């Protein structure tokens, strides 16, 4: 009797084990490192909602390699130490094949050594710092990727937009000497503007936080006859610069900036904002994203305010699905190789190619916003040659 019971139990366990194994083979688990609580909760919730949308769409069309995708979200509570623990659990307990997120560079810099150790590729959504994929010594983290472009790359986009789209060949730069971000954008802008045949006729600095009067620099810029004024900065200084430039009678110079655009700048600069251009990752009015925003509104009854996070998380899933298909098997290392060899993969918001040396997107399409009628509006998409 006892023997039978043991046998029966063994049988039950065996069946359960088989079922579990079968279930495990039927789904492809993708981890999602998201801030569902804490300061970044609004971003994290949008990301998970958007990623789920992508997973459902892909599963409805038959999944990947005949298997369903399954999203495994983990909350890192906006704290790097929780992100590290969450990554361990995803890799050890949940056996995810890849991880998407997080939406901040600091978090991804903390999890990069783990991705390398567990050999689980991770795709940062809005992690723009250079150190996310490459450490301080310039050594590549082989399992770290990102879907967004890096901060300094915006400088290249500004150069391409000014020279190729606006066809303006003289430019001035007015940048915050105390900011890493501005320094990087300026350096890339100068390098590529030169390559595209443009000429930087004035290169001037200021200190954010202490300087509020820019008329001295602007007078020099006016005398340099620059057609474009590049503002690779963050914050209210840009608004003050535009306002003071117009007051000095510089009515034709065109302002071009990076993703430092903020709605609050209208209040400071007023009409001086009109007609300025701003480079960004994505735009809510991008026609290619219209379906996504419509579905998002329908599914969650929410207008997806954190649209950059939403779009990038959504397309991260599509990129990963494409990489798994190209890898031909559900194996983390093969997926990593496929991600690394991404060439001209068509996603919704952009066409992706990855630089194998840095794991940064190459010549990625950027969105140009134009400040018009009191708000930032979609103007065009650009991709440098």
Toward another protein, which CB reaches closer, 217 or 342? 217
Toward another protein, which CB reaches closer, 165 or 211? 211
User: Which residues of this chain interact with another protein, rule CB under 8 A?
Assistant: 177, 204-207, 210-213, 215-217, 219-220, 223, 236, 239-240, 243, 246-249, 264, 267-268, 270
Tell me the CA distances in angstroms from 106 to 13, 208, 278, 353, one per residue in order: 44, 23, 25, 24
**Nearest-approach distance from CB 68 to another protein, in angstroms:** 47
**Nearest-approach distance from CB 375 to another protein, in angstroms:** 16
Burial class for 263, CB neighbours closer than 10 Å (0-12, 13-18, 19+): exposed
Tokens of 39: 């300061």
Sign (positive or negative) of CA dihedral 179, 185, 191, 196: negative
Beta carbons of 347 and 58 less than 8 angstroms apart = no
**Nearest-approach distance from CB 262 to another protein, in angstroms:** 10
Toward another protein, which CB reaches closer, 241 or 279? 241
**Nearest-approach distance from CB 224 to another protein, in angstroms:** 10
**Nearest-approach distance from CB 29 to another protein, in angstroms:** 44
Toward another protein, which CB reaches closer, 196 or 266? 266
DSSP 76: -
Angle at 345 between CA 74 and CA 196, to 5 degrees: 110
**Nearest-approach distance from CB 256 to another protein, in angstroms:** 20
Toward another protein, which CB reaches closer, 88 or 236? 236
Distance CA 59, CA 349 (A): 20
Beta carbons of 46 and 303 less than 8 angstroms apart = no
Toward another protein, which CB reaches closer, 268 or 330? 268
Q: Which residues pair with 31 in a beta bridge?
A: 72, 99
């Amino acid at each position: 009797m006892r023997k039978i019971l043991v046998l029966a139990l063994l049988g039950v366990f065996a069946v359960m084990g088989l079922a579990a194994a079968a279930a495990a083979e039927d789904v492809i688990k993708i981890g999602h490192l998201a801030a569902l609580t804490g300061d970044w909760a609004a971003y994290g919730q949008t990301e998970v909602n958007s990623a789920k949308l992508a997973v459902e769409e892909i599963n409805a069309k038959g999944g990947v390699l005949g298997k369903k995708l399954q999203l495994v979200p983990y909350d890192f509570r906006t704290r790097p130490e929780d992100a590290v623990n969450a990554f361990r659990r995803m890799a050890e307990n949940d056996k995810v094949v890849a991880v998407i997120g997080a939406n901040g560079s600091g978090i991804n810099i903390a999890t990069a050594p783990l991705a390398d150790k567990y050999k689980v590729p991770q795709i940062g959504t809005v992690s723009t710092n250079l150190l996310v994929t490459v450490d301080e010594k310039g050594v590549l983290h082989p399992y770290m990727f990102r879907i967004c472009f890096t901060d300094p790359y915006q400088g290249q986009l500004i150069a391409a937009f000014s020279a190729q789209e606006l066809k303006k060949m003289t430019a001035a730069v007015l940048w915050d000497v105390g900011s890493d971000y501005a320094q990087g954008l300026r350096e890339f802008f100068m390098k590529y503007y030169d390559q595209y045949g443009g000429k930087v006729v004035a290169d001037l600095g200021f200190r954010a936080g202490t300087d509020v009067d820019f008329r001295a620099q602007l007078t020099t810029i006016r005398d340099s006859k620059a057609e474009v004024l590049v503002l690779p900065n963050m914050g209210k200084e840009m608004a003050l610069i535009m306002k003071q430039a117009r007051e000095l009678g510089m009515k034709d110079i065109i302002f071009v900036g990076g993703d430092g655009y903020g709605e609050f700048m209208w209040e400071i600069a007023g009409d001086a904002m009109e007609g300025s251009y701003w480079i960004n990752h994505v735009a809510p009015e991008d026609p290619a994203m219209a379906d996504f925003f419509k579905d998002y509104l329908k599914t969650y009854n929410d207008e997806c305010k954190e649209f950059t996070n939403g779009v990038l998380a959504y397309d991260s899933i599509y990129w990963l699905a494409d990489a798994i298909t190209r890898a031909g098997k559900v194996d983390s290392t093969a997926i990593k190789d496929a991600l690394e060899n991404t060439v001209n993969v068509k996603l919704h918001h952009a066409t992706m190619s990855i630089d194998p040396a840095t794991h940064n997107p190459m010549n990625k399409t950027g969105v140009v916003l134009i400040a018009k009628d009191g708000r930032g509006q979609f103007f065009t998409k650009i991709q440098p040659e």
